[in-house]
Amino acid sequence: MNNDSIYLPRAATIKNINRFTELENLFEITLDDGNPLGHKPGQFVEVSIMGIGEAPISVSSSPTQSQTFELCVRRVGNVTNAMHRLKKGDKVGIRGPFGIGFDTEFLKDKDILFICGGLGIVPLRSLINYVFEHRADYRKVTILYGCKAPHELLFTNEVTAWGQRKDTELHLTVDAVPEGEHWNYNVGVITTLIPKVDFDINTTYAVVCGPPIMYKFVIKSLKERDLPDDHIILSLERRMKCGVGKCGHCQINGIYVCQDGPVFNYTEIKDLQEAL
């Protein structure tokens, strides 16, 4: 009779683990009840490690891949470190998907400029792959992806493949190249890429995700190019304890990021001082 609890996770099994870097792993997961997760690009799940806790993690795979889904997790604390200790076949709890994702219908027939900073690639990858799977529905695709250093680049094989597509423009950058590392692309923060790309402000929508500090600078650069406010779409991070609009932790002024976001149109949040 208690199965209607909004806090009860569903059992799920880790099918595969791909070690990306020292800090990030990609987990391929399937729900034990056999159902597809049924997410939209940009939505997130609450991952439970019983005995440790729960953490909100974006779904990184495209919904077109429906039997399993992928989470890319950086280990920073209790839950995420515990996830990194898991092996293939181990169980995790999943609640969700939660939140409002990217509006794939609205973006149809538009030019999309993806701006991914660091771990921000994780939620955007879901949309990027979705767009590639429905390539004819979308127009010009430009991807800007920046990390602190070359060894922090995620999804390297996939990103390389994006760069080889004739229908896509890819620009990579790192803040700096430490000694002993190789890098053939741009060096500088992600905003240094923006003047290098050509886009039509009437048809282009920028989709942005990255660390909190990144948004202000990216928006400033986009505004310098006169991109209208409502052509900027952002995915935001906040502290979350429930994912279902109750615990209060994710609030930006009166907005609940877990319910009203994490994806926002810039016009919805630009006047909120706590947002960016």
Partner 1 sequence: MQEDKYADAAKHDKNKGGFGMKLVKKDDFLNFVNTLIKNDSRTVVGVKSKRNKFIYDTLNSADELRLEYDVTMLSPNKYFLPPTETLLRYDFTGKFSVQAVNEVTPLIIIGIHPYDLIAIEQMDKVFKDSNPDYNYIRKREASILIGTNIQNVSSYAFSGSMGAATTDRGFDLMLTNIGDKYAIEIGSIKGKNLIEKYAKVSEADNDTTREVQRIKTEIGSKFEKQLNFSSEELPKLLEENYDNELWEKNAQKCLSCGSCNFVCPTCYCFDVQDITELNLKTGERIRTWDGCLLEDFAKVATGENFRKDRAARYRHRFMRKGKYLYDKFGFIACIGCGRCASSCLPDIADPCKVFNSLKEVIE
- Residue numbers 225-254 binding ligand FAD by CB under 6 A: 237-238, 240
Q: Is 245 among the residues that bind ligand FES (CB under 6 A)? A: yes
Tell me the two tokens of residue 146: 């920046």
**Distance between CA 130 and CA 107 in Å, rounded?**
12
Coil/strand/helix, residue 51 = coil
Residue 8 interacts, among ligand FAD, partner 1, ligand FES, none and using kind-specific CB cut-offs from 5 to 8 Å, with partner 1
Site string for ligand FAD, 151-180 (x = CB under 6 A): ------------------------------
For ligand FES, give the closer residue by CB, 45 or 107: 45
For ligand FAD, give the closer residue by CB, 118 or 221: 118
Q: Summarize as ranges the residues that interact with partner 1 (CB under 8 A).
A: 2-9, 11, 32, 48, 50-55, 76-77, 80, 91-93, 211-212, 237-239, 241-242, 244-249, 251-254, 259, 273-274
Residue 58 interacts, among partner 1, ligand FAD, ligand FES, none and using kind-specific CB cut-offs from 5 to 8 Å, with ligand FAD
**Distance between CA 146 and CA 193 in Å, rounded?**
9
Edge-to-edge strand list for the sheet holding 24-31: 53-58, 44-49, 91-98, 10-19, 24-31, 69-74
Q: Is 219 among the residues that bind ligand FES (CB under 6 A)? A: no
Tell me the two tokens of residue 159: 């990103």
Q: Is 249 among the residues that bind ligand FES (CB under 6 A)? A: yes
Question: Which residue type occupies 79?
Answer: V
Question: Which residue type occupies 129?
Answer: N
Q: Is 72 among the residues that bind ligand FAD (CB under 6 A)? A: yes
Residue 44 interacts, among partner 1, ligand FAD, ligand FES, none and using kind-specific CB cut-offs from 5 to 8 Å, with ligand FAD
The residue nearest ligand FAD at its CB is 77
- Ranges of beta strands (E only) in the chain are 10-19, 24-31, 44-49, 53-58, 69-74, 91-98, 111-117, 141-147, 168-174, 186-187, 204-209, 232-235, 251-252, 255-256, 263-265
Q: Is 73 among the residues that bind ligand FAD (CB under 6 A)? A: yes
Coil/strand/helix, residue 192 = helix
Q: How far is the CB of 56 from ligand FES (least distance, A)?
A: 7
Q: Is 43 among the residues that bind ligand FAD (CB under 6 A)? A: no
**Distance between CA 223 and CA 127 in Å, rounded?**
23
For ligand FAD, give the closer residue by CB, 41 or 204: 41
Please check whether residue 89 is in contact with residue 102, taking contact to mean a CB–CB distance below 8 angstroms.
no
Q: How far is the CB of 78 from ligand FAD (least distance, A)?
A: 3
Please check whether residue 72 is in contact with residue 45, taking contact to mean a CB–CB distance below 8 angstroms.
no
Q: How far is the CB of 252 from ligand FAD (least distance, A)?
A: 12
